[in-house]
Structure 1
Amino acid sequence: MRPDPRSPDPRSLGPRSPGAETAAPYPDTFYSRTLADARRRPALTGRVSVECAVIGAGFAGVFTALSLARAGMRVALIEAQAVGWGASGRNGGFVSDGFASGAAAIRRRVGAAQAEALQALSSEGVEILRHEIATLAIAGADPVPGILRLRRYDRSEDLRADATPEAPYLDQAAIRRHLETARYKHGIAERTAFHIHPLNTLRALVAEVERLGGLVFEQSPVTGADLDGPLKVLTTPAGRIEAPRVVLATGGYTGPLVPRLRRAILPIATYVMLSEPAPDLLAQAIRTRMAVGDDRRAGDYYRLVQDGTRLLWGGRITTHAASPAGIGRALRAEMLGVYPQLGPLKTDLVWSGLMAYARHRMPQIGPLQPGVWHVTGFGGHGLNTTAIGGRVTAEAILGTSDRVALFAPFGLDWAGGPVGLAAAQATYWALQVQDWWRERKEA
């Protein structure tokens, strides 16, 4: 078979950032190649005592540790790979309010008042991230305001009704001022939302944890855990941590350490591709630095990066290992369905990452047993929800609020194991078919 001329060439992204040759072993992504700070953290060795140990240095674990450290608690972050190695360092970088479950499903489960309180928490999560990037002056976070939420079929009554000054309704003519395509019919411009370089942001937050006296250990998988006594004991290949409190924040890469937690999540893979540098070609299609996401239930999301010179396009999910090259071709086909004028655009890189989904598609945040908390299940809407999830978990540990109780109805439900994964994949395929039919029926 002749090689695809648009297939990814990992060499074509250009040189890595200064010092990247000493970086922890990240997967090859746009984010790992553009690190603002490539320092490694040591592996855990010997015996360490802290007041709280947090397993998992993704956004959920880091925000928990940061809030505790700011309150004066001595904390340790323990990461099996590298800070942000999982979905926290590979995602699309969108920061907006809401949850993956959707407002209507949340209201049905908990009622209007609690749904409104949860929505307020999700909005607070957006502001937490915005505040941290600004006050810490995070180098390389590259925040860019605005996300366009667009619709590919011709019905607008609900969008018009939900529009606000901060999220105005866009008709097709308004959309065309930003995007040279006839694919989108209606939309909303979320002006308070933004997008970022997630890995640079996360690594800077970890540096702040360290500045406050927190300990951070990489390449330190937790291989054993005694969580039943008043003093919890975690063991790694070369060390041991003792703490009266433990937080489990392991996401889509959760292993068998705590079986109840592992049974409650579905590890779902999502995919992202990055184009070659082509600012003039991209400008023919995309005339905005706002990010874009369509409102299909199996939709795509994309944004310009590196000062508008490259296109980052994400979408597709699988519940089994899939060829990044094959998924890259599928993502490229989606891109050309919206922007046929980008036919000459080459793909430089495709990567994937595992997200943690619960059956109810809400974060799973709360106490597991005395002295042990879990903060996971952020698939589909992670950056704002990890920020607020970490904060309310820390508040519960410190005894300063019981806001974590708002998440109690969304517990560690069994996700169904292999049957659950098969059902999730079948649901995704069914949603794709429904999206396809709706677009043609209401074109």
Structure 2
Amino acid sequence: MQPAYTDTYYSRTTATPERYPAAAGRIEADVCIVGGGLAGLTAALKLARSGRKVVLLEAQRVAWGASGRNGGFVSAGYATGLVAIERRVGPDQARELFRLSMEGVEIVRNTIDVLGIRDAHSVPGIAKALRYDSRGALKQTSERQQSEFGLQLRYLPRDEVRELFISPKYHEAVLDEGAFHFHPLNYARALAREASRLGAAIHEHSPVVAADLDGARKIVRTKSAEIAAEHVVFTTGGYTGGVLPALQRSFLPIATYVLLTEQAPELVQGAIRTRAAILDDRRAGDYYRLVDGGNRILWGGRITTRTTDPRDIAALLRREMVTTYPQLSDLQVEIAWSGLMAYARHLMPQIGQWKPGVWYCTAFGGHGMNTTAIGGTVIAEGLTGESDRYRLFAPFDLAWNGGIFGRAAVQLTYWSYQAADAVKEFRAR
């Protein structure tokens, strides 16, 4: 019997039972995609629609990794801010990149509509909440983004914030009414289902063990199969192996943690009186939303460079939840889980062509729901010659992740963020 998904809220509420066979034998294809997360599935679907013969290889199950066990937030932007992107590439290219992130949101939204993915359970609204008074900076930033990009943002002053989030911690927020949150695993499985219907061959439990990427026809090998293709697209993330060392060295696997509370509608809705998701704006902050019809809280937060779960994962997250909402002190945790995201040092996705016929699309940590969609799309466009928009990401290439020193730097940076956040909160009291 094939192993199941990691035990999460999403795996417990998976809508459909389909499985895909492991790859076997000699297979000819136009494109071989390595990685069955949202980026790979988006590319597979677009390429299948264009008539390409696609083979997708997934080491575990479709969307088994971060793609199927994240917070489910779909909003514009990247893991780093617009100002940081401007410093690296200039204002014009930064604006183009931001608009691509907005397009990623619309790709997900339109796909849900076109395919009728009711089990994606899309809910509008994501609020970015601050634990201090920004003295006009938050409102100014939101007004700039409204003016430049047409985002549907609404500033929420302190009184309105505390009517929606019954917590003494929050001072102001911005509600992105064009963003939404959803069930990422059901969405990903619907992508796989549609790509398969259009002729893409999807293979689960087919980890790649070797690849010859130098010839005109690339050869990708699993334990039981050999795939020959003109193009190979690597769309793996935090669980990437060593088949393409340049890719594995270019980002760090970072763990994040999520819990699901017990079912307690009165208690839950007495603390959170909005169906919008909440993104705590602390750089070391939390993200959470109501699920199961508003009866439970899905709460995520904390990051670490360790790739094994701490024993007290549920207790750590629950402490954050109760500190924010003391009235939830009696609310119990039903399950907790973790997942590995891929973060590059520049905090941008890595999207491009490594050599002729070899493409990469990865490092979506922190903002993957929109960037996986646009990443898979622009790679498919580049491969077919429809556009060269993937080149906009060229300044954010496969830079070395720093190895063990990179891991230490990331963890130290996260701890420094936590300290800075604590100082801001203390001053706001």
Q: TM-score, normalised by structure 2?
A: 0.97
- Secondary structure of the corresponding residue to residue 168 of structure 1: strand
Which residue, out of 60, 77, 80, partners 2:56? 77
Alignment correspondent of 1:366: 352
Which of 65, 71, 91 aligns to 1:112? It is 91
Match for 2:122 among 132, 140, 143?
143
Relative to structure 1, is the Cα distance of residues 322 and 216 closer, same or farther in structure 2, using a 3 angstrom cutoff?
closer
Task: Describe the shift of the 1:271–1:112 C-alpha distance in structure 2 as closer, same or farther (beyond 3 A).
Answer: same
Q: Distance in 2 between matches of 1:124 and 1:323?
A: 35
Q: Could you say which residue in structure 2 is the equivalent of 1:168?
A: 154
Does residue 1:202 correspond to 2:181, yes or no?
A: no
Match in the other structure for 2:35? 56
Question: What is the distance in 1 between the residues matched to 2:2 and 2:374?
Answer: 29
Superposition pairs for residues 19-418 of structure 1, below 5 Å?
25-161=4-140, 162-163=142-143, 164=146, 166-418=152-404
Deviations 1:257-280 (A, max 9, x none): 111110001000000000000001
Rounded to whole Å, the distance in 2 between the matches of 1:23 and 1:189 is 42
Whole-angstrom distance in 2 between the partners of 1:59 and 1:379: 12
Structure 1 Cα separation of the partners of residues 234 and 309 of structure 2 = 30
Task: Go from structure 1 to structure 2 and tell me whether the alpha carbon gap of 1:233 and 1:323 turns closer, same or farther (over 3 Å shift).
Answer: closer
5+ residue gaps, structure 1, are 1-21
Q: CA deviation at 1:418?
A: 1.2
CA contact (8 A) 1:155 1:442 kept: no
What letter is aligned with 1:69?
A: A
Using the alignment, how far apart are the partners of 1:155 and 1:317 within structure 2?
25
Q: Aligned partners of 2:74, 2:363: CA distance in 1, in Å?
A: 17
- Following superposition, the deviation at residue 283 of structure 1 comes to 1.3
Whichever residue aligns with residue 317 of structure 2, its letter is L
Q: Distance in 2 between matches of 1:321 and 1:107?
A: 32
Residues of 2 paired with 1:360 and 1:72: CA distance?
Answer: 35
Contact 1:324/1:350 (8 A) holds in 2? no
Q: RMSD value over aligned CA atoms?
A: 1.2
* In structure 1, C-alpha distance between the alignment counterparts of 2:10 and 2:274, rounded to whole Å: 21
How many residue pairs were aligned?
A: 422
- What is the CA-CA distance between 1:253 and the residue it aligns to? 0.7
SS of the aligned residue for 2:26 comes to: strand
The 2-side partners of 1:357 and 1:35 are apart by 27
Contact 2:253 2:307 in 1 (8 A): no
Percent sequence identity is: 53
Q: Specify whether residues 176 and 23 from structure 1 end up closer, same or farther in structure 2 by C-alpha distance, changes over 3 A only.
A: farther
Task: Give 1:379 shift.
Answer: 0.5
CA distance in 2, matches of 1:62, 1:323: 27
Alignment-derived partner of residue 9 in structure 1: none
Deviations 1:389-440 (A, max 9, x none): 0000001001011111100000000001111111101110111001001111
Deviations 1:344-367 (A, max 9, x none): 100010100000000101000000
Are 1:23 and 1:39, in contact at CA under 8 Å, matched by a contact in 2? no
C-alpha distance in 2 between matches for 1:119 and 1:239: 40
Deviations 1:130-149 (A, max 9, x none): 00011101131000000110
Counterpart residue number, 2:424: 438
Residue type of the partner of 1:424? Answer: V
Partner residue in 1 for 2:407: 421
**Bigger shift: 106-115 or 38-47?**
38-47
Cα distance in 1, alignment partners of residues 2 and 188 from structure 2:
15
In structure 1, how many angstroms separate the alpha carbons of the residues matched to 2:3 and 2:159?
47
> Which sections of structure 2, spanning at least 5 residues, go unmatched?
none
Query: Which amino acid is 1:271 matched to?
Result: Y
The answer to whether the 8 Å contact 2:11/2:185 transfers is yes
Offset, 1:181: 1.3
